[in-house]
Amino acid sequence: MSVFSSSVPILVTRLRAAGCVFAEDEAQLLVSTAATPDELAAMVERRVAGEPLEYVLGWAEFCGLRVAVAPGVFVPRPRTEFLIQEAVALARRVAGTPVVLDLCCGTGAMGAALAAELERAELHATDLDPAAVRCARRNLGAGHVYEGDLYEPLPASLRGRVDIVIASPPYVPSESVALLPAEARLHEPLVALDGGGDGLDVVRRVIAGAPQWLAPGGHLLVETSERQAAATAETVARAGLAARVASSAELDATAVIGTRPQRRGFSGAAAPAAPPA
Ligand code: GLN
Q: What is the pLDDT of residues 110-128, one digit of tens each?
A: 999 999 999 999 999 999 9
Residue 190 pLDDT: 97
Which atom, in ligand 1's list, is nearest to the CA of 80?
10
* Ligand 1 pocket mutation, candidates 172, 177, 221, 232, criterion most atoms within 8 A of CB: 172
* Ligand 1 pocket mutation, candidates 171, 201, 252, criterion most atoms within 8 A of CB: 171
pLDDT above 70 (res 275): no
Q: Is the dihedral of CA 103, 106, 108, 111 positive or negative?
A: negative
Residue 2 pLDDT: 59
pLDDT above 70 (res 264): no
CA distance 30 to 44: 8
The residue count for the chain: 277
**Domains and their CATH numbers in the chain:** 5-68 (no CATH), 78-259 (3.40.50.150)
Contact 107, 135 (CB under 8 A): yes
pLDDT above 90 (res 277): no
Write the pLDDT tens digit of every residue in 18-66: 999 999 999 999 999 999 999 999 999 999 999 999 999 999 999 999 9
User: Pairing relation of β-strands 65-68 and 59-62?
Assistant: antiparallel
CA distance 121 to 147: 20
Q: Any idea what the Cα angle at residue 101 is, between residues 194 and 93, rounded to 5°?
A: 125
Average pLDDT of span 180-207: 97
CA distance 130 to 240: 32
The whole-model pTM stands at: 0.92
pLDDT above 70 (res 142): yes
Closest CA relative to residue 65, chosen from 107, 20, 126, 17: 107
Q: Is the dihedral of CA 269, 204, 211, 260 positive or negative?
A: negative
CA distance 86 to 63: 13
CA distance 137 to 146: 9
Average pLDDT of span 91-117: 97
Q: Cα separations (Å) of 35 from 5, 11, 40, 43, 239?
A: 13, 16, 7, 11, 51
Average pLDDT of span 167-189: 97
Write the pLDDT tens digit of every residue in 195-235: 999 999 999 999 999 999 999 999 999 999 999 999 999 99
Contact 257, 243 (CB under 8 A): yes
| Ligand 1, atom 7: closest residue by C-alpha | 170
